[in-house]
Amino acid sequence: MYDQASDTFVNTPKSFGKSITVADLPAGIAKFFPTKNDEGAGGVSPELLSPVIRGVAEEVKKIQAVLADLEMRMVGGSLLIVWEGDETALKASLDHAAAEIDVDEGDSDDSEAKKAAIGPPLLVKLIDFAHTRLAPGEGPDQGVLLGIDTVLNLLEGRAKQVAA
């Protein structure tokens, strides 16, 4: 995580993820989505973090919809969630994502360069699912869907905390 207050990156060891308990999950999600108001966190303002959390939830719901329609079994898998932690860059990215951009074909090179200079505010991908197999007739993988539901519930809880 990028800590804006100290202008450094804070690494969370893999052991944290392996040792976290169900009761610790809300604190874990808060650690990943910190606000400036959180004690000891170098996060962003709640006004900027709220649309990030909503956007992540929307992307996770898209992945959930696809997985709910697949008859497969997944042994392992992860959601990669990346979001812009620098407040200035995040604001520019959110503003850019919200704006309607009319691209004139004559200015396509210039417009493409401008778009490339401002990255997306967030990205969510399903990764590490190499041990997945099709399972015709077995329905969707309920364990995977339970995991996705858990992530969505954690995001909803964090969104409420940030909005308060």
Structure tokens at 64: 């959930």
pLDDT score recorded for residue 53? 97
CATH hierarchy code of domain 2-163: 3.30.470.160
pLDDT score recorded for residue 41? 63
Tell me: pLDDT of 106 over 60.
no
Phi-psi region of 157 (alpha: psi -120 to 50; beta: other; left: phi over 0): alpha
Structure tokens at 133: 């197999």
pLDDT score recorded for residue 34? 92
10 to 1, 31, 42: CA distances (angstroms): 5, 11, 10
* pTM across the whole model: 0.85
Tell me: pLDDT of 114 over 70.
no
pLDDT band at 160 (very low <50, low <70, confident <90, very high): very high
The residue count of the chain comes to 164
Tell me: pLDDT of 84 over 80.
yes
Give the separation between CA 40 and CA 35, rounded to whole angstroms: 10
Give the separation between CA 116 and CA 45, rounded to whole angstroms: 25
Span 25-82, pLDDT tens digits: 999 999 899 998 776 667 899 999 999 999 999 999 999 999 999 999 999 899 999 9
8 or 127: which leads in pLDDT = 127
pLDDT score recorded for residue 99? 81
